[in-house]
């Protein structure tokens, strides 16, 4: 009887010992399986995700500066048209948006003062010949000691005065696009033509027929869009990156899907007081008839290149203010490797590690590892956010 009791007690102790050993082993396996910052994927999962592994790369990355501004034209390609002298609008030959050529008639003005100006010129022109002949005659007499000096000086003064007035009136007529030669012939016009000084488009029309305009009034504005360029603002922190010739990619606010390119040709030398930014001017490479001065534009400028280690953008995840990547945990002594033959399917372990990111360009971002890794370490190149999601699922399941 005692023997049976001893055997029974021994069996119970052995069973409890085995159970404790199994529980402890299970707990260790579960603790290892759900190690923080680690996710496991089967080969089938990796294939379905098209997961790519690769090493950190050495690349030339361009620093990208985000900028905004507006389209404009140079001062020489924009013209404010004035009447030069006051007059009434008799005829308007253009509308806003019309394309005009240099020398094309834009507006016709009329006023009685135009007639008076031409009459004055005709009188002076006809008298000038007589005064010139009288001046030459008195000069000869004076040089021969026949004429008086007083008569010579008066003839000289009259001639020079008339000549100055003649030249002044002639210039005024030419500014009004009136022919001095026709006026000499008695062909007087009561109208003057306002002509376009440049090729371009009529951007503003500020007049109506019958309106009186003064000499200083801007009646039309013309802009030559063929000289359109892109002006951007660059803030103080990025000014040191800007160089002439750098390339800019930009879009306009009303058509963000179409991208244009430009190259910097001038850089401002003075900061704007409020924004602490300078202006840069860039020449647009494409012919764009749909672009109009004043349009708001946004873009990015490609600054100096930097040779550094980089990874594809899809390899990097953000958690708060920190950045991470997943590396293949290829430890041959890991429990997953040791027990691979006892599982239905082998799994790969991926470990999340922290990185410091830098410049980004063409789908790649500069990275520096917080903890140094081996140069041959394999890194997940494309589905980092999926691994992060899977890791979150495993941690949730483990917490339950």
| 121-132: pLDDT as tens digits | 999 998 998 998
Element (H, E) at 107: strand 105-110
Is residue 140 located within the same domain as residue 178? yes
Please write the tens of the pLDDT for every residue from 183-198. Answer: 988 899 999 999 999 9
| pTM attached to this predicted model | 0.55
Classify residue 384 by its DSSP letter.
H
Q: Is the pLDDT of residue 390 over 70?
A: yes
Residue 276 lies in a domain: yes
> What H or E segment, with its residue span, contains residue 359?
strand 347-361
**CA angle 82–85–87, rounded 5-degree value:** 90
Choose among 64, 157, 120, 96: nearest CA to 362.
64
Residue 334 has what DSSP assignment?
Answer: S
Res 165: pLDDT: 93
Q: How confident is the model at residue 148 (pLDDT cuts 50, 70, 90)?
A: confident
Same domain, yes or no: 390 and 324: yes
Range from 221-225, 233-237, 338-342 carrying the lowest mean pLDDT = 338-342
How sure is the predictor about 23, in pLDDT bands with cuts at 50, 70 and 90?
Answer: very low
Average pLDDT value for residue range 350-363: 86
Same domain, 390 and 321: yes
CA angle, 388 as apex, 385 and 394 as ends, to 5°?
A: 145
What tokens were used for 228?
A: 């359109």
Domain that holds residue 257: 64-75+226-305
Residue 231 counted as domain residue: yes
Phi first, then psi, for residue 271 (nearest 5°) are: -80, 145
- The count of domains in the chain is 3
Domain presence at residue 253: yes
* Alpha carbon distance 386, 395 (integer Å): 14
- Name the pLDDT band for 94 (thresholds 50, 70, 90): very high
More confident residue, 264 or 149: 264
Assess if residue 58 is contained within a domain: no
According to the model, what pLDDT value does residue 261 have? 92
Residue 179 sits in a domain of what CATH number? 1.10.287
What pLDDT, on a 0 to 100 scale, did the predictor assign at position 129?
87
């Amino acid at each position: 009887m005692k023997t049976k009791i001893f055997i029974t007690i021994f069996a119970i102790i052995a069973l409890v010992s085995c159970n404790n050993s199994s529980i402890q082993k299970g707990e260790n396996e579960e603790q290892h399986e759900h190690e923080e910052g680690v996710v496991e994927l089967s080969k089938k999962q990796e294939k379905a995700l098209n997961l790519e592994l690769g090493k950190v790369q050495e690349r030339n990355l361009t620093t990208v500066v985000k900028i905004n501004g507006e389209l404009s034209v140079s001062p020489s390609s924009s013209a404010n048209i004035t009447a030069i002298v006051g007059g009434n609008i008799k005829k308007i030959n253009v509308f806003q948006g019309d394309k005009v050529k240099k020398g094309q008639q834009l507006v016709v003005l009329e006023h009685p003062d135009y007639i008076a100006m031409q009459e004055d010129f005709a009188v002076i022109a006809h008298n000038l010949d007589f005064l010139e002949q009288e001046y030459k005659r008195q000069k000869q007499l004076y040089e021969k000691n026949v004429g008086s000096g007083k008569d010579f000086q008066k003839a000289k003064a009259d001639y020079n005065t008339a000549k100055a007035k003649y030249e002044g009136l002639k210039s005024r007529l030419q500014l009004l696009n009136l022919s001095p030669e026709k006026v000499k012939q008695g062909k007087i016009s009561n109208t003057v033509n306002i002509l376009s000084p440049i090729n371009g488009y009529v951007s503003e029309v500020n007049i109506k027929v019958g309106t009186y305009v003064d000499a200083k009034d801007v009646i039309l504005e013309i802009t030559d869009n063929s000289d359109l360029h892109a002006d951007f603002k660059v803030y103080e922190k990025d000014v040191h990156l800007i160089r002439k010739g750098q390339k800019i990619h930009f879009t306009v606010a009303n058509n963000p899907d179409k991208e244009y390119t430009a190259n910097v040709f001038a850089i401002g030398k003075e900061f704007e007081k409020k924004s602490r930014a300078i202006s840069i001017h860039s020449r647009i490479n494409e012919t764009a008839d749909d672009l109009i001065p004043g349009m708001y534009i946004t873009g990015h400028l490609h600054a100096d290149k930097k040779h550094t280690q980089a990874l594809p953008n899809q390899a990097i995840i953000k958690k708060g203010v920190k950045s991470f990547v997943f590396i293949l945990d290829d430890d041959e002594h890991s429990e997953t490797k040791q027990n691979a033959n006892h599982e239905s399917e082998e799994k790969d372990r991926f470990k999340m590690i922290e990185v410091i990111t830098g410049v980004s360009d063409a789908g790649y971002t500069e990275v520096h590892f917080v903890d140094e890794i081996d140069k041959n370490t394999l890194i997940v190149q494309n589905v980092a956010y999926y691994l992060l999601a899977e890791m979150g699922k495993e941690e949730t399941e483990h917490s339950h």
